[in-house]
């Protein structure tokens, strides 16, 4: 009976006597000449809290290293709310002594010294040039880290690399939506560049790309209209504001750069300026040269129903009778399971529908939309890699004064194929 009582008490006490979990540090230590280290390693620590909430009091222990073999078990100190490390002092041959610091994580596997070694500097715990960069340390040991990270904006669900960043209503970073050729406004919305807005008798042109070849030789570039007053022109090269009289001169709607400011291939040119006039869109915009409304690459689809692969929204007030819009597009078909279909819509009017066979890999086309008071008169031609040329002419009714959206759609007849709008562009010619 007495033996059973003591056995019961011993089993009940086992969890209490087990103590906090331990992590093994095991390694072979060498000196710089390649011989193995022999000596004593003294490990000391300040009071800290173990992972199981046990309190570990200030103390030290000494481990002897024979023929380079080090093996010691320590309580992990990465979960401690206090920034604490193990201070490790090496003594060899009674003459040499040096120190380093360890932070020991919870690990079921034995760790090397390089896994726990850290450097303690003026800024707190960190890895250093003389410490192994793989040495772990607690985030809680870095003063202010959590607060600093929390003060930074986070990626939103619409974040996308390679796009202009905008801040949404929740303070998160999102990618600007729209075509690659669009300009982004202050409120984060996007639309075709070069559009004008009228305020009273003054029109403003923002984000226009001047015409002219950027080849490292050309120094003359044209604007769609003549800045009025001339001092309203803000001309940028690669985002840097150019200075009139020093980098360029302005004559009417022509910008003439000096030789030292000659744009090189790949440079980006943008211009913002005002136009004087009566206040109507037709009078104040006064474009004298072609204007790129949209250009870029569209999307790809593998659906058997028509879906939008690209679009271009022409803003209200931009088109007027007598204007002409040139549209060019390229579709690419991948796969041999079936054919593909393509459509082009001008506003609410279908101006192209063509079905091509499985052997066709390309469809190219162009349309010429002449703006008339009743809408647009559109002539269109398209052809495939082997399919013959097809032409058509039709009238598309539409209130272009309120803006027109041009859509490019595509579908495949077999779900294993894909069709892509590989390129499209729209140019307005006043």
Q: Average pLDDT, stretch 175-198? A: 68
pLDDT at 140: 61
Let me know: does 342 contact 363? Beta carbons within 8 Å. Answer: yes
In the predicted structure, residue 199 carries a pLDDT above the cut 70: no
| Low-confidence winner among 221-235, 282-296, 400-414 (lowest mean pLDDT) | 282-296
pLDDT score for 141: 62
Long-range contacts of 358-362 (CB under 8 A, 24+ apart): 358/413, 358/414, 358/417, 359/386, 360/333, 360/384, 360/385, 360/386, 360/387, 361/332, 361/333, 361/334, 361/385, 362/330, 362/331, 362/332, 362/333
In order of their start, the domains of the chain are 14-146 (2.60.40), 153-182 (no CATH), 192-289 (no CATH), 293-429 (2.60.120)
Decide which of 286 and 108 is more confident.
108
pLDDT per position as a tens digit, 25-64:
999 999 889 899 999 999 999 888 888 888 888 999 999 9
Mean pLDDT for the chain overall:
82
User: DSSP 3-state assignment of 400?
Assistant: helix
Average pLDDT over residues 166-183: 78
More reliable by pLDDT, 10 or 280: 10
Q: Average pLDDT of 199-204?
A: 58
Buried b (16+ CB within 10 A) or exposed e, 330-368: bbbbebeeebbbbbbbbbebebbebebebebbebbbebb
Which one, of 13, 30, 115, lies nearest residue 74 by Cα? 115
The torsion defined by the Cα of 205, 206, 212 and 217, in degrees rounded to 10, comes to: 130
For residue 293, the model assigns a pLDDT of 80
Distance CA 360, CA 4 (A): 89
Q: What gap in Å lies between CA 38 and CA 383, rounded to an integer? A: 83
Query: In sequence order, which residues have a C-beta less than 8 Å from that of residue 118 and are 6 or more positions away?
Result: 85, 101, 102, 103, 125, 126, 127, 131, 135, 137
113-153 residue pLDDT tens = 999 998 765 455 554 334 444 445 566 666 677 777 777 78
Q: Are 213 and 222 in contact (CB under 8 A)?
A: no
- Segment 239-275, tens digit of pLDDT: 889 998 899 999 988 999 999 889 998 888 999 998 8
**Average pLDDT of the residues in 206-227:** 88
Q: Whose structure tokens read 């850290």?
A: 118
């Amino acid at each position: 009976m007495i033996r059973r009582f003591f056995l019961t008490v011993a089993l009940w006490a086992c969890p209490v006597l087990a103590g906090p979990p331990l992590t093994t540090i095991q390694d072979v230590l060498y000196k710089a000449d390649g011989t193995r280290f022999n000596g004593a390693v003294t490990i000391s620590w300040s009071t800290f809290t173990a992972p199981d909430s046990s309190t570990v009091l200030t103390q030290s222990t000494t481990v002897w290293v024979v023929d380079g073999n080090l093996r010691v078990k320590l309580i992990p100190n990465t979960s401690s709310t206090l920034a604490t490390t193990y201070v490790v002092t090496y003594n060899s041959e009674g003459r040499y002594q040096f120190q380093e610091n360890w932070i020991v994580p919870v690990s079921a596997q034995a760790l090397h010294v390089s896994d726990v070694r850290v450097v303690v500097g003026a800024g707190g715990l960190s890895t250093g040039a003389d410490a192994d960069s793989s040495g772990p340390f607690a985030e809680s040991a870095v003063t202010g880290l959590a607060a600093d990270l929390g003060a930074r904006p986070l990626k939103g669900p619409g974040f996308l690399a390679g796009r202009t960043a905008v801040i949404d209503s929740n303070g998160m970073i999102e990618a600007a939506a729209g075509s690659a050729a669009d300009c982004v406004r202050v409120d984060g919305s996007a639309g075709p560049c070069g559009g004008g807005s009228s305020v009273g008798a003054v029109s403003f042109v923002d984000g226009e790309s001047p015409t002219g070849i950027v080849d490292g030789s050309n120094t003359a570039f044209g604007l769609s209209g003549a800045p009025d007053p001339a001092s309203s022109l803000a001309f940028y090269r690669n985002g840097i504001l150019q200075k009139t009289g020093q980098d360029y001169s302005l004559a009417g709607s022509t910008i003439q750069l000096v030789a030292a400011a000659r744009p090189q291939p790949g440079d980006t040119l943008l211009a913002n300026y005002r136009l004087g006039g009566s206040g109507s869109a037709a009078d104040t915009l006064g474009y004298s040269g072609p204007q790129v409304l949209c250009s870029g690459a569209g999307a790809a689809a593998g659906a058997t129903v028509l879906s939008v692969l690209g679009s271009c929204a022409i803003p209200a007030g931009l088109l007027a009778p007598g204007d002409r819009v040139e549209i060019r597009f390229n579709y690419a078909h991948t796969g041999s399971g079936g054919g593909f279909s393509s459509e082009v819509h001008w506003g609410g009017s279908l101006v192209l529908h063509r079905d091509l066979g499985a052997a066709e890999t390309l469809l190219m086309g162009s349309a010429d939309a002449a703006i008339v008071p009743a809408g647009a008169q559109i002539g269109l031609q398209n052809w495939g890699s082997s399919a013959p040329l097809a032409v058509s002419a039709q009238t598309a009714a539409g209130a272009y004064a309120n803006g027109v959206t041009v859509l490019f759609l595509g579908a495949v007849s077999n779900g294993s194929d894909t069709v892509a709008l590989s390129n499209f562009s729209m140019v307005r010619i006043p």
